[in-house]
Amino acid sequence: MMALKREWTYVILVCFVLLTVALPSAESAQNFTTKMNQSHKDSQSSPLKLNPKLSLQIKIHALLLWGSVGFLMPIGILVIRFASSCTCGKNFRILFYLHVVLQTVAVGLATAGAVLSLKNFENNFNNTHQRIGLALYGFIWFQPLLGFLRPNRGVKARSIWYLIHWLIGIGICIVGIANIYIGLHTFHERTSKSVRLWVALFTLEVSFFGFIYLLQDRWMYMLGQGARHCDEQIRPTDHITSPSTSTNKKQITISDIIG
């Protein structure tokens, strides 16, 4: 009975969050589109005037958010995927706690970046980068709460929790990476400074993480293929000794001893 109540509590909580975030009214959607167009015009007409202090704050903000959603969170996802294929309980616990530590540090960096931006930057939220960042902060803070509220194994709500936790985690990384690109593009538009080097380096990193993510699904299969290939060099019948062969070997051995 308690498990059933807990399951309904998780479902109601998740539905409330999804309805709050994902179902804006038609008027809000229209205002969003209007503000998007207006912000694009404003970004082109009003270039950002950088001073040494503001320039440093922007660099720190970019570094914090890159370290959070662009580096530590993807690594945390790769680590927990490695843990899921672990057969040793000790190694699984080590990888699980490493995942928790990485995600906790990532949330801390994102929080520091949010405080820095809210305190020192223009917070009109009239551009795509700021709006996505605001929604991203909410999901980043909601995700660890959802992680700590995970049901016990064997409860029906566990599968629902796992699906939601996985979707939100992957979504945060994908949207966060996209927002880093949007932030670099916005910085280029507002300051006319080149960001090609940073875009190229970040693309290289994202491609590497994507390659590792896809490789994890096939790694054990590849190892199995290599082992099977080695086994194919030795015929299966080579390891099987027939009764007649065994008898002959015994006879030869006995005759040799007698002789």
pLDDT tops 70 at residue 244: no
Q: Which two tokens stand for residue 54?
A: 């503001």
**Is 7 in contact with 154 (CB distance < 8 Å)?**
no
DSSP one-letter code for 234: S
198 vs 177: CA distance, rounded Å: 13
80 vs 6: CA distance, rounded Å: 25
pLDDT tops 60 at residue 78: yes
Arithmetic mean of pLDDT, 171-181: 95
11 phi/psi in degrees, rounded to 5: -65, -45
Q: How confident is the model at residue 250 (pLDDT cuts 50, 70, 90)?
A: very low
Q: Look at the chain and count its residues.
A: 259
Q: Of the candidates 70, 220, 85, which has an alpha carbon nearest to the alpha carbon of residue 133?
A: 70
**Is 106 in contact with 73 (CB distance < 8 Å)?**
yes
What pLDDT, in 10s, does the model give residues 45-54? 456 677 788 8
| 212/26: higher pLDDT | 212
DSSP one-letter code for 229: H
5 vs 22: CA distance, rounded Å: 25
Q: Of the candidates 140, 130, 225, 139, which has an alpha carbon nearest to the alpha carbon of residue 182?
A: 130
**Is 202 in contact with 65 (CB distance < 8 Å)?**
no
What pLDDT, in 10s, does the model give residues 216-235? 877 767 766 765 544 445 44
What pLDDT, in 10s, does the model give residues 159-169? 899 999 999 99
**Residue whose entry in the numeric block shows the structure tokens 């699980």:** 96
Q: Of the candidates 15, 93, 58, 98, which has an alpha carbon nearest to the alpha carbon of residue 187?
A: 58
166 vs 48: CA distance, rounded Å: 38
Coil, helix or strand for 87? Answer: coil
User: pTM above the 0.75 mark?
Assistant: no
Q: Which two tokens stand for residue 252?
A: 């030869």
Q: Is 154 left (phi over 0), alpha (psi -120 to 50) or beta?
A: left
